[in-house]
A and B are shown apart, each in its own frame.
Chain A
Amino acid sequence: MWLDFPFQPRQASTVSVGWDHLFYFLTALAVFFSALIFATIFYLAIKYRRRSKDEIPPPTESNLPLELTWTLIPAGLCIVLYVWSSSLYMRDSRPPAASTEIFVVGKQWMWKVQHPEGPREINELHVPVNQPIKLTMTSEDVIHDFGVPVFRIKKDVVPGLYTTEWFEATETGQFHLFCDQYCGVGHTHMEGWVVVMTPDDYERWLDSQAKVEPMAVAGGRLFDQLGCGTCHAAGGKGPPLAGLAGSTVKLQDGTTVTADDAYLRSAILNPRAIAGYSAIMPTFQGQVNEEEVLQLIAYLKSLGSPAERKP
C-alpha cells in the first residue's frame, strides 16, 4: 500500500518524467540537509551540554575556511539546481511547431474550450494522445489559471491578453484540470477534465459533436456581419489582410513586430494602439466577446500564409 502512495500525480505528459526527476532530487537534497542540521544540532547540543552551573566555555574562534566551505557548497548546489531547472523550463516553454491549437476562455466560474474544427466544450478538453497541444487562453473577467497536475503544466489566464501553454499527453484517460488562481466564490468548483483519447477515438469524437462551423468559418461570418470588408477590401482604407497573420509588420517608428495572436486581438479591440497606421479604425470592444475575437483571428489565419502576403 505504501508503495502505491502517490507522492506525485501520474506522469501523463512528455515533460512529467523529467520534471519529477528534478522534484525528487530537490526532495532528496532537502531531506539530506534537514537531517544533517538536525543531527548536528542534536549531537552538539548533547555533547556540549552544560555540566556544571558555573561552566564557562572557551571563547569563539573564527574559521574562515569553514565559512567559505559552507558558503560555496550551497552556492554550487544552487547553481546546479538553477541550470537544471532553467534548461527544463526553457526547453519546455516553446510549443513544438506542429502543435494543434485549442482555445480556452475562462470566466467566473467555468472553462469554455473551442476547437478550431468547431466543437465547443464546457469544463472539458478532449485531446488526442501523443500529439502536442497548444492552448491559447484568455479570461472574460478576473485572473484564472488553467492547471493540469498530471501534465505538470500551469499558466495564469489573464483578462486583456493571451497566455499560452502546451503539453503532449502520453497516456489516455481522464485527468483533472483545476483553476489555480483564486477567482472568487466559485473558484473551488471551477475544475474539469482533460480527456485524452486515441487518435481514432478523437476523430470519432470530433465528428460526433453537434455540427458547429469551424472557427475560421465562424470568424468569416463575423467578418462580414461586422462590416470589416468595408475598409479591408481591395482599394479600401484599411490594409489588406491576406497573409497578415504571422507576418512581420512595420510600425511608424521603424521597428517591426510580428502579427501574432496578441497583435491581432489588439488590432480588433484597441486599434488606436497599433502604431504605424492612422487612427481611423474604430474599436470593436463591446461588440465582440473573447470567443468571437478568437474566431476572427482564426479566420485571418485562414486568409493565407505570410509568404503569400503582398506588401
Chain B
Amino acid sequence: MPHVHYLNVNYGWRSWLFTVDHKRIAWLYLVAITFFFAVGGIAATLMRLNLIEPQGALMEPASYNKLFTMHGLIMIFFFLSPAVPAVLGNFLIPLMLGARDVAFPRLNLLSWYVFMAGGLVFLYSVITGGLDTGWTFYTPLSTTYANTNVMSAAMGLFIAGFSSILTGLNFMVTIHKMRAPGLTWFRLPLFIWSLYATSIIFILAFPVIAITMVLIMLERFFRVGIFDPALGGDPILFQHLFWFFGHPEVYILILPSMGVVSELVAAFCRKRVFGYSFIAFSSVAIATISFLVWGHHMFVSGQSIYAGLVFSALSFAVAIPSAIKVFNWTATLHRASVSYDAPMLYALGFIGLFTMGGLTGLFLASLATDVHVHDTYFVVAHFHYIMVGGASWVTSEASIIGGPR
C-alpha cells in the first residue's frame, strides 16, 4: 500500500459524507447494505422460527405477513440490488478502466444520499407498523384492502429507485467514455461487461417501478381508479407493469455476481476465462431478453393462452445464455492451475448452486408445470438457490475478502 492512500488522505466525518471519491462512496454503500442485510436477515430468522410449527410458533398471521413482505423488499431493493454494483462496481470500475473516477463523481455521491433517503423512508414504514401486501404489491389488495403502511413503503421504494437509475447512468457513461487508450471493448474485464449489462437494466427497468409506485400511491391516497375494478381499474394492468420491472430486476440481482465469478475463476485458475466473447455476449443477451419474459409470472393470472405461449418460448430462450456461462466457467478449470483459496471455493459453489436454481427455472418457464408449481414453495426455492446460493454468497465473500484481484 502506498504511504498515503484513499483511507488516510483525509480524516473526519465530513471527508466521508462529502466525498466524491468512488472508493469512499463504495465504502459508504457497503456500510448501508450491510445494515439492511442485517434487518432483512432478522426478518428471515423470525419467519423461520415461526414456521417451526404449522400454526405459527411465534406470531399471528398478520405479523408473519409483514415479516415476509419486509424480508423480500429489504433484501431485494436495499441489499442485493445495490450490493455488487454500488459497492464493488463503484470501487473497481474506474480501476479496471484506468480512469481516475467515474464519469460523474458528484452524481455518484447523490446516488448514495438518494439511496439512504429511500432507505430511511422505508425504515420509517417498517418501524411504524410495516407492510403486509407481499413484496409484489398485487392490487387491489395493496391499493384498497390493505390497512398497513403502503404509502410510506411505496414512497421509500420510489425514492431509492432513482439511486439505481443514476448509478446505472454513471456506469454506462464511464464504461463508454473513460476507458484508457487502447482498452477496447473486447479487452475489458468480464466484470465490466456484466456491470454494463446490469446498467442497461437499471436505466430501463427502474423508471417503470417508479411510475408503478406512483400509480399505487395515487390510487390509494386519491382513489384514482387505475387498478381497482371497483373504481374502474384493471388489476391485471398492475401485474404487467410490476413484472415488466420485476423480471429484469432479478437479472440485476444475478448479473453482477456472474461478473464477479468470471473474475474469480480467472484469477484463481491463473488463466483467462474460456470463451471470453461468449460470456460477454451472454451478459448482454440476458439483459436484453430479460425485458421480454415478464408474462411468465402471469401464466395463471387470466392472461391469454397465446401470450403464455410467447412468454414461455422467450423464457426458455433466456436460460440459454446462463447455461453458456456455466459451461464456459467450468471449462476454464481444464488445464488450469486451480487454487483452493476461499474466494475460489465460493465461486465454484456459485456455479453449482446457480446451476441447480437455474434448472428449476425451466420448470417455471414450461407452461404446463408452471401451473402446478406457481405460487408454491417451488418458486421460493428456485429464487433462493439463485439469490442466496448464487448472488448473496458471492457478494458477501467478495465484499469481505476484498473483491476480485
A interface residues (Cβ-Cβ under 8 A, vs B): 19, 22-23, 26, 29-30, 33-34, 37-38, 40-41, 44-45, 48-51, 55-60, 62-63, 66-67, 70-71, 74-75, 78-79, 81-82, 84-86, 88-90, 92-93, 108, 141-143, 145, 147, 149, 152-156, 158-161, 163, 180-188
Query: Interface residue count for B (Cβ, 8 Å)?
Result: 75
Nearest CB to that of A46 among chain B residues?
Answer: B338
A-B contact count (CB 8 A): 214
Q: Which residues of A contact B276 (CB under 8 A)?
A: 60
Residue from the list B317, B320, B369 in contact with A22, Cβ < 8 A: B369
B-side interface mostly = helix
Q: Provide the residues of chain B in CB contact with A142, threshold 8 Å.
A: 138, 140-141, 144-145
Residues of the B chain whose Cβ atoms lie less than 8 Å from the Cβ of A79: 316
Q: State A159–B300 Cα separation when bound (angstroms).
A: 14
- Asked if A184 contacts B145 (CB within 8 A), the reply is yes
Q: Closest approach, in angstroms, between the C-beta of B304 and any C-beta of chain A?
A: 10
By beta carbon, the residue of chain A nearest B359 is A30
Q: Which residue of A lies closest to B372 (CB)?
A: A152
Residue pair B138, A30 in contact (C-beta under 8 Å): no
A159 touches B366 (CB 8 A): no
Q: A59-B272, A74-B319, A93-B305 are in contact. Are A82 and B312 (CB under 8 A)?
A: yes
Complex formed: what's the CA distance from A147 to B308 in Å? Answer: 19
Stretch touching chain A among B37-45, B97-105, B322-330, B391-399:
B322-330
Q: Which residues of A contact B319 (CB under 8 A)?
A: 74, 78
Is B146 engaged at the interface, CB distance under 8 Å to the other chain? yes
B235:A159 contact, CB within 8 angstroms: yes
Counting from the closest, the 10 A-B pairs by CB-CB distance are A160-B229, A44-B333, A85-B366, A89-B367, A30-B359, A78-B316, A142-B141, A88-B368, A163-B302, A60-B272
Please state if A23 and B363 are interface contacts (CB–CB under 8 Å).
Answer: yes
Check B312 against A86 for contact (C-beta < 8 Å).
yes
Which chain B residues in 291-349 approach chain A with CB under 8 Å? 300-302, 305, 308-309, 312-313, 316-317, 319-320, 323-324, 326-328, 330-340, 348
Q: How far is the CB of A101 from chain B (nearest CB, A)?
A: 17
Q: List 22 A-B contacts (CB under 8 A).
A: A19-B369, A37-B326, A41-B352, A45-B348, A48-B269, A49-B340, A50-B270, A55-B270, A59-B271, A59-B272, A71-B324, A86-B312, A88-B367, A89-B305, A93-B305, A142-B138, A159-B230, A159-B235, A161-B236, A182-B138, A185-B60, A185-B132
CA of A155 to CA of B312, assembled, Å: 17
Asked if B302 and A19 sit within 8 Å, CB to CB, the answer is: no
Q: Is there an interface contact between A78 and B369, defined as CB atoms closer than 8 Å?
A: no
Contact between A86 and B367, CB atoms less than 8 A apart:
yes
B4 → chain A closest CB, angstroms: 32
Query: Does B369 contact A26, Cβ atoms closer than 8 Å?
Result: yes
Cβ distance B42 to chain A, nearest Cβ, rounded Å = 22
Known contacts A48-B334, A56-B337, A152-B372; decide if A85 and B138 are in contact (CB<8 Å). Answer: no
Which of B107-143 touch A at CB < 8 Å? 132, 134, 138-141
Which residue from A37, A44, A78, A145 sits with its C-beta under 8 Å from B352? Answer: A37
Is the pair A60, B317 in contact by a Cβ cutoff of 8 Å?
no
* A143 in contact with B138 given A23-B369, A158-B302 (CB within 8 Å): yes
